[in-house]
Structure 1
Amino acid sequence: MRTLRIVTERSVVFAGAALAAVYVLDEDADELRQAETVGEGPGACYGLSSRYPLSGSSPVADAFRTGQPRWLDPAEVTGHGAGQAAVWLGALPLGADGRRLGCLVVVDRAGDGFDAVRRSLLELYADQVGVLLDAANAACGGTPPDAALRHMRVGSFTLLLATGQIDADAQVLELAGIGQNEFDGRVETLLAHTVPEDLPALMSVVEPGHLAPSSRELEFRVRWPSGELRWLRLRCRVLADAGGRPERMLGVLAEASHLRPSTDEVARVQRLSAILANAMSVRDVSRGVVAALREPLGADRMALSELHASRLVVTVLDPPEPSAWPEIWRSQWRSEWPDAPARALPTLEAALREGRTSLWTTSTGLEPGLADIGRGGLAVLPLPADGRLVGACLLGWDEPHEFGTEERSLLTATAGLVGQALMRARAFDAEHELAAMLQRSLLPRKLPELSGCAAVARYLPATAGLEVGGDWYDVIPLTDRHVALVIGDVQGHSAEAATIMGQIRTAIRAYAVEGHPPDVVVSHANRLLVGMETDAFATCCYVALDTEEGDAWIVRAGHLPPLLRDPDGNTGEVEAEGGPPLGVLAEAEFPLTVVGLATGSVLTLLTDGLVESSSLHLDDGVRRACEVLSATDPSDVDRLADALIGGADQREDDVAVLLLRYDGLRTRPLRAGWAVWRLPDAVMHARRFTARILRSWNVTEQTDAALLIVSELVTNALVHTQGEVRLDLTLAGERLRVAVSDSSPRAPVKPRTVDWEVTGGRGLLLVEALSCSWGAVPLSGGKQVWGEIMLTPEETHRP
């Protein structure tokens, strides 16, 4: 046939051989028969047989059965009885994707035979011809006619990676639309004729930094000077120098326009491209590939996995039902166990090593982990990106499935698109996780337990963009009955915003713990940000809550007002007057609003990322948040918080939410206070007051311990401070708390050593010995030193 003669003639050109012959299967498919020879004399002159049984032992039959080239030197040729002495022989299989169509045999009488370059070029040529023959065979439903490859044009080139110089034959230049007189030997000249959209994929193949030792294949478009677009198929291989470093690339270029997909298939590729262009995460890519390929191709199963070193991490199995997949997939290759080696399935490992699309019209004979995916047809698509494999896509059909030319082209084209998208999404996920981790490291690891309240928080980083944001929240215990809730947002998404956020959060916590009123805390934070000389500003909402009385003092600095859900389920914004954002005016005023919380109320502080976006108006977002709060049972605050952020999947901004359910105290603490007079017998009066109060509370057995603590704390305050001293007693359940406040901010220091002959210096040691816990907390301009005593259940009987 004319087609096979074209193949053999090109073989002689590529190999510079004395003879080339093509063998094809006979009608009974039990032997290979010689169909065409080209060269110096007939094949018999070189000892070639006209027929080779597939069951026999010959280089031609071995190459056909194994699908791997066989190269024999003269001694091996003579040993096989395949030719004359001093003859070099090469047998190369023709076929693709498991289809064996024939064998190409080349013979040379040169002294050195086929060197590495000639072998590589012939192997690439055979692979290229096999793909074209296989595609033509699938399109015609039988042996390819002469017309299938009548216009076949194949060229070769050698690229020196260090210099970028390329030695291309006339056929390559003709395919690229470059005149021989116009070519300057630079690879950039060839790349300049590539369509811009296909240039990144082509550059990933020819750039030295992205080269892989295995063969690579790629289809791309070039534009001829006439404006015509032509599809070309490239197959290439890298040769290394003596030190194992990539030295040069050998490539074979072929015309592929007549094998390109139809309009429908192009539309599918365009649809997939549009989906992947908007896919930000690996999950988005996985879902997009399933939607674009599985149903349109009628596949029964589809799996997409990332390749990490030699291990596969499955990102999607569709359908997701475990019963639809072989045991190895549902027990080992789930994303929770990213340690399944690719070598667990040798056929898949071989396909990944080859780096090209592999198709089987039947999976019979494959290992069960692959065979059970598609008994009627199986496609394995290695996903390349930047010169390496980043994953694999598998499609399986239960019913017999034939891969037509258009479908083959579709799968080959989509592999590169998916690989690039997967690599981009993997980088996005990694950077986004890093940004989220940095953000979370600046937020509280856990919220404190509060008496009479239950608080939860949620933080979600933005899904659009990778920069860390400036949203924060905090819950600050102040005294045994007061707690502060804070939420805020620093302008922008950058490292500077995160840094300012951390500084402002720390400053507000410090000012609050010092005992300043809410408006003073916010004013101090505002002056701090103004003094930092930054262009950034921050919004903030600060709430101080009395857990016993249910009174909340609210201060807003340019931030959204809190949302309040009453026990009946009615939810709305708290009417709290606000001031400007922090960092705008140094002497800004921040009004204080007082709101009473009923038992069962839920107070919600949030940032605008939850209720406002380019597609959501602020009023609509707040209305939606109120509806969710009203419709959700507040008995489980974690579920309530999850319901509130449930609609924030695609986020243009960070989201922070802080919820507090006020339950009130089942048993209200008993409290009593005494302003200590600075008299010589002030300690005696303090002890008498304490004893009188404890008798009224029916506390008897721990009275001596309590009186001794009162004596030591009052004495220390009178001796070491000036100004007012106050004694406060609190009985909460089984705990008796003795607290003494003074006007000195200096914290008491427990002595490390004690001279027992000295009468002073042992007060704090006694307090520590008598108390189950003790400590000191700052107050506005002073401090409070306290100690607690555990009472027996009999002593806690209230009057």
Structure 2
Amino acid sequence: MTAAYDARRVDARRGSRRGYASVLRRRLPLETRWAIGLVALGVLSTVLVALYPDQMPLTAQMVPLLLGSLVLGPRTLPWFVIVVMLLLTISLATLDTITTRTVGAVSIQFVMGFIVLLTSFRRSRLGVANVLGESMLVDLRDRILSSAGVPALPDGWQVQTALRSAGGTPFAGDFVVAMHPHGTDRLEVVVVDVSGKGEQAGTRALLLSGAFGGLLGALPPDRFLPAANAYLLQQEWEEGFATAVHLSLDLVTGEYAVRTAGHPPAVVRAAGSGRWTVLASDGPVLGLIDEAVFTADAGHLQAGDALLLYTDGMVEEPRRDIELGIDRMLGEAESLLRGDFRGAADKLVAALGSRDDDRAMVVVTRR
């Protein structure tokens, strides 16, 4: 009886402690718990520096400072940096001798604290709580860029895409949106070149890729570019223009229509003759002229035919006319592909274009 009673008391105490811990977790936000833990770590470092000055370096305060920059939000981080600097000052005051090397180490830590504060202010502008919160932006980028993925197509059709940014990052001023609208036999592809390049144009490209994806799936093919033009005009950006080429392809018959907006022309290869033809679609740059008109060039893709959509980074180089760049691209395509279009987009992007500009290539083939 006594043993059972003692066991129940032990279980009750354990349950009470678990209950207190659960209440503490519910009442204290995660960021507050992180702040308390990091302050405790800073205090521990200060005590160790005071007790063992020869073994514990002053730079130990860098550990809680850097951890705080990763997990604390912009409201808590400035106060935490001030606390760490105070603890660092206390650690310095406990030393018996202060050398030039010690002053240098402390100065560097104060500079690091200032850099952490600047980072906190930047995150406040971005609207993210901490470095972990920046994963939200990465997720947004991945979701929008996934629109460049080619949807499942019927047998006999193949679409390949390749993108390269001027800076080598995932953010670029060129993007591709491909869509197979529900309930239709059409494939809609648009290749867009936003003004600017690399990371400078990346934010506008991210926004436009999401907006253009919605327009592409909701509107008839002949209304897409006018709607995209109206959308850009509404943004009133200082560098708010973009060029685009839009392909609408019937996956049953092979009939297509290509429309361009200030963009390099699409080219098509007839398998029977092996000849490349530059399509004569025309239209003004998006975002500059209200009520713009875009003319289409229509045709029919037979078995073995191929159609190329690309951005000006593939054919434009300093002191060279764009028509010469297109001729060079077609010559390279003829020598690289020779009837085998596997990996065609990647091969062409790797072999052509300016490395100082964003590049995009789409290759549509009917097997």
> Could you state the TM-score of these two structures normalised by the residue count of structure 2?
0.57
| SS of the residue 2:314 aligns to | coil
Equivalent residue for 1:518? 221
Equivalent residue for 1:459? 163
Counterpart-to-counterpart distance in 2, 1:655 and 1:440: 19
| SS of the residue 1:484 aligns to | strand
| Matching of residues 685-700 of structure 1 within 5 Å | none
Counterpart-to-counterpart distance in 1, 2:187 and 2:266: 16
Q: Does 1:475 align with 2:178?
A: yes
The counterpart of 1:631, out of the listed 320, 329, 335, is: 335
Q: Does 1:508 align with 2:360?
A: no
**By how many angstroms is 1:494 displaced?**
6.4
The counterpart of 2:294, out of the listed 590, 604, 607, is: 590
Counterpart-to-counterpart distance in 1, 2:170 and 2:197: 5
Distance 1:635 1:573, change over 3 A: closer
**By how many angstroms is 1:500 displaced?**
2.6
Counterpart-to-counterpart distance in 1, 2:203 and 2:280: 29
| SS of the residue 1:646 aligns to | helix
| Matching of residues 149-298 of structure 1 within 5 Å | 247-248=99-100
How many residues are treated as equivalent by the alignment?
238
**By how many angstroms is 1:645 displaced?**
1.6
Counterpart-to-counterpart distance in 2, 1:630 and 1:566: 12
Counterpart-to-counterpart distance in 1, 2:301 and 2:358: 29
Specify the code of the residue in structure 2 equivalent to 1:521. Answer: F
Distance 1:242 1:629, change over 3 A: same
Equivalent residue for 1:548? 252
Q: Is the 8 A contact 2:167 2:199 kept in 1?
A: no
**By how many angstroms is 1:586 displaced?**
1.7
The counterpart of 1:560, out of the listed 229, 252, 264, is: 264
Counterpart-to-counterpart distance in 2, 1:484 and 1:657: 15
**By how many angstroms is 1:487 displaced?**
0.2
Distance 1:443 1:569, change over 3 A: farther
Distance 1:247 1:579, change over 3 A: farther
Equivalent residue for 2:128? none
Q: Is the 8 A contact 2:149 2:178 kept in 1?
A: no
Counterpart-to-counterpart distance in 1, 2:284 and 2:97: 63
**By how many angstroms is 1:648 displaced?**
4.4
Counterpart-to-counterpart distance in 1, 2:97 and 2:190: 59
**By how many angstroms is 1:603 displaced?**
0.8
Distance 1:648 1:576, change over 3 A: closer
Equivalent residue for 1:609? 313
| Matching of residues 6-405 of structure 1 within 5 Å | 247-248=99-100
Counterpart-to-counterpart distance in 1, 2:357 and 2:321: 14
Equivalent residue for 1:443? 145
Distance 1:546 1:616, change over 3 A: same
Q: Is the 8 A contact 2:316 2:353 kept in 1?
A: no
**By how many angstroms is 1:462 displaced?**
0.8
Counterpart-to-counterpart distance in 1, 2:95 and 2:139: 42
Structure with the larger strand share? 1
Counterpart-to-counterpart distance in 1, 2:174 and 2:302: 29
Q: Is the 8 A contact 1:556 1:576 kept in 2?
A: no
| SS of the residue 1:488 aligns to | strand
Counterpart-to-counterpart distance in 2, 1:242 and 1:647: 64
Distance 1:652 1:548, change over 3 A: same
| SS of the residue 1:524 aligns to | helix
Larger relative CO (CA 8 A, sep 6+): 1 or 2?
2
The counterpart of 1:622, out of the listed 308, 318, 326, is: 326
Q: Is the 8 A contact 1:438 1:468 kept in 2?
A: no
Q: Is the 8 A contact 1:571 1:629 kept in 2?
A: no
The counterpart of 2:234, out of the listed 531, 547, 551, is: 531
Specify the code of the residue in structure 2 equivalent to 1:526. Answer: N
**By how many angstroms is 1:638 displaced?**
3.6
Distance 1:467 1:642, change over 3 A: closer
**By how many angstroms is 1:651 displaced?**
0.6
Equivalent residue for 1:581? 285
Distance 1:462 1:471, change over 3 A: same
> Could you state the TM-score of these two structures normalised by the residue count of structure 1?
0.27
Structure with the larger helix share? 2
Counterpart-to-counterpart distance in 1, 2:138 and 2:345: 19
Q: Which runs of 5+ in 1 are unaligned?
A: 1-239, 250-434, 664-799
Distance 1:546 1:243, change over 3 A: farther
| SS of the residue 1:585 aligns to | coil
Counterpart-to-counterpart distance in 1, 2:190 and 2:158: 15
Specify the code of the residue in structure 1 equivalent to 2:294. Answer: F
| SS of the residue 1:619 aligns to | helix
Counterpart-to-counterpart distance in 2, 1:660 and 1:569: 18
| SS of the residue 1:560 aligns to | coil
Q: Does 1:498 align with 2:350?
A: no
**By how many angstroms is 1:519 displaced?**
2.3
- The superposition leaves residues 180-210 of structure 1 with CA deviations (integer Å, 9 ceiling, x where unpaired) of xxxxxxxxxxxxxxxxxxxxxxxxxxxxxxx
- The superposition leaves residues 565-620 of structure 1 with CA deviations (integer Å, 9 ceiling, x where unpaired) of 22146343433231111101121111122111121111110011111122644222
Moved >6 Å (runs of 4+): 435-441
Q: Is the 8 A contact 1:436 1:468 kept in 2?
A: no
Specify the code of the residue in structure 2 equivalent to 1:248. Answer: T
Counterpart-to-counterpart distance in 2, 1:554 and 1:617: 23
Distance 1:552 1:649, change over 3 A: closer
Q: Does 1:644 align with 2:357?
A: no
Specify the code of the residue in structure 1 equivalent to 2:207. Answer: Q
| SS of the residue 2:351 aligns to | coil
Q: Which runs of 5+ in 2 are unaligned?
A: 1-91, 102-136
Q: Is the 8 A contact 2:254 2:301 kept in 1?
A: yes
RMSD: 3.3
Specify the code of the residue in structure 1 equivalent to 2:211. Answer: A
**By how many angstroms is 1:649 displaced?**
8.1
Specify the code of the residue in structure 1 equivalent to 2:153. Answer: L
- The superposition leaves residues 151-201 of structure 1 with CA deviations (integer Å, 9 ceiling, x where unpaired) of xxxxxxxxxxxxxxxxxxxxxxxxxxxxxxxxxxxxxxxxxxxxxxxxxxx
**By how many angstroms is 1:450 displaced?**
0.9
Q: Does 1:655 align with 2:362?
A: no
Equivalent residue for 1:765? none
Counterpart-to-counterpart distance in 2, 1:449 and 1:505: 20
Counterpart-to-counterpart distance in 2, 1:490 and 1:245: 60
Distance 1:546 1:649, change over 3 A: closer
Distance 1:248 1:510, change over 3 A: same
| SS of the residue 2:158 aligns to | strand
**By how many angstroms is 1:496 displaced?**
6.3
Counterpart-to-counterpart distance in 1, 2:352 and 2:95: 55
| SS of the residue 2:265 aligns to | coil
Counterpart-to-counterpart distance in 1, 2:158 and 2:190: 15
- The superposition leaves residues 301-343 of structure 1 with CA deviations (integer Å, 9 ceiling, x where unpaired) of xxxxxxxxxxxxxxxxxxxxxxxxxxxxxxxxxxxxxxxxxxx
Distance 1:449 1:630, change over 3 A: same
Counterpart-to-counterpart distance in 2, 1:643 and 1:461: 16
Moved more, 454-463 or 473-482: 473-482
Specify the code of the residue in structure 2 equivalent to 1:550. Answer: G
| SS of the residue 2:285 aligns to | coil
| SS of the residue 1:443 aligns to | helix
Distance 1:645 1:621, change over 3 A: same
**By how many angstroms is 1:243 displaced?**
5.1
**By how many angstroms is 1:646 displaced?**
2.4
Q: Is the 8 A contact 2:255 2:299 kept in 1?
A: yes
Specify the code of the residue in structure 2 equivalent to 1:530. Answer: L
| SS of the residue 1:526 aligns to | helix
| Higher Cα radius of gyration | 1
Distance 1:504 1:467, change over 3 A: closer
